[in-house]
Structure 1
């Protein structure tokens, strides 16, 4: 067990995760934001590793990634900063990013660094499932890292069952096949998709992401999954002067 599995054992509904980009809006703001989010009531955090070609991200997160790179954020610097993580933050923390920076850093070294600083899991959207199983699963498990897989409305039942078998944290349900930042449009087909996954009775908890931006969309997602992930709406908040003082209000408004 790690902090992720412990969290879902204690709380299995209306779980709130917040995504933000490391090194944005300032290069040294990562831990301050993480600490403020925990104090405000977030259940766990996803810290994005900035990347120059973030294909799944919409303009808000792309912009934060570009600015973080300009600020000087790198994987090496992020791990340096995260050495202080567990002195300041007790909730689960995941790193989210693309496979290329992980590969450049070295997968084994990356897993070891995550374990060393107290990171609980990793979300790598472009790491193929079978490549993970064949080449990296052992390394992740040795360092007690949960590898979080994503599914979309088009993912087959066979693949979802396989993902459920390989997972040991939660499964990330994309609300649509679009990029991040689009508001959640809960059509009848979206509800059918959410209900289909719920009715599969997967062994792992599920979290819905992409388009969760307010109390209404958070509550709707929580009807079908164990909780939801908010990204672009929070990153947009960080673009405001005095954002630090607005974090508590933002989380309270989401939770209603």
Structure 2
């Protein structure tokens, strides 16, 4: 008897049935503080986000470009801790219905212990994990621990990943496979590399796990491009983080700015 679908799998199944591409915004927890993060998560949900990627701030974020690094620094200065992020997430039970994928580096996870971290994340209401600096061999171990706690461990594939390894990652990834659209760190770009379309096609032949494309999607046009390439989801990080930081800098409503940008992306994806 096959296991029932996880929260993330269920969301992608439902979107596939509707013929829609998933919109997955990324925001940094604690930027500018956890109260704003809480309000922003609800605003994103109300404005068409299907899943959300929630970054746990870390002092040495190797995969992140300048925008997200700056957001992590602001969050750490504000006193944000992994425990604080999980507590905030837990306070949203009953209000937040979209799956939350936690983005963390391996150090905080190893400091707490993989089992303990996964158990705490699941108890707080997280549905999945992305750990960009974890080698595949370690990820395969963590995937078993995460699954036992009820979490999907989402693995990343880059344009430079050799085909054989790409297949192995795609098979091992749970919930969805995170396809990095560019070589290098996260950040806003005006053009996505057209070979991403080929990579989506290649991954589709290697298994039926949904594919979400991230790194470099700056607006509705790129999100639509990702959808047209046949991807199942579009992840938007730096562009949203910038919008939220600008709103805070101008003493504006951070959550309203996040919601408004999310609504634009949703309209673009559905057009």
Give your verdict on TM over 0.5.
yes
Question: Which residue of the partner structure matches residue 30 of structure 1?
Answer: 37
Q: Equivalents in 2 of 1:9, 1:195: separation in Å?
A: 19
Cα contact 2:171–2:206 (8 A) shared by 1: no
Question: Which residue of the partner structure matches residue 237 of structure 2?
Answer: 231
Residue correspondences, number: 254
CA drift of 1:184 comes to 4.9
Cα contact 2:29–2:55 (8 A) shared by 1: yes
| Residue-by-residue CA offset, 1:212-253 (whole Å, 9 max, x unaligned) | 111110000111201200000111111112222223321221
Question: Which residue of the partner structure matches residue 163 of structure 1?
Answer: 169
Cα contact 1:175–1:184 (8 A) shared by 2: no
Question: Which residue of the partner structure matches residue 71 of structure 2?
Answer: 64
What is the TM-score when the length of structure 2 is the normalising length?
0.89
Task: Select 1:106's aligned residue among 110, 113, 116.
Answer: 113
Q: Equivalents in 2 of 1:20, 1:233: separation in Å?
A: 10
| 4+ long deviations beyond 6 Å | none
Root-mean-square deviation (CA), in Å? Answer: 1.6
Cα contact 1:17–1:230 (8 A) shared by 2: yes
Question: Which residue of the partner structure matches residue 246 of structure 1?
Answer: 257
| Residue-by-residue CA offset, 1:11-41 (whole Å, 9 max, x unaligned) | 0232100100111112322221111110111
Q: Which moved more, 1:67-76 or 1:201-210?
A: 201-210
CA drift of 1:85 comes to 2.4
CA drift of 1:107 comes to 1.1
Question: Which residue of the partner structure matches residue 136 of structure 2?
Answer: 129
The answer for unaligned runs of 5 or more in structure 2 is none
Task: Map 1:1-256 onto structure 2 (within 5 A).
Answer: 1-12=5-16, 13-133=20-140, 135-198=141-204, 200=205, 202-224=207-229, 225-239=231-245, 240=247, 241-255=252-266, 256=268
Q: Equivalents in 2 of 1:145, 1:44: separation in Å?
A: 14
The answer for unaligned runs of 5 or more in structure 1 is none
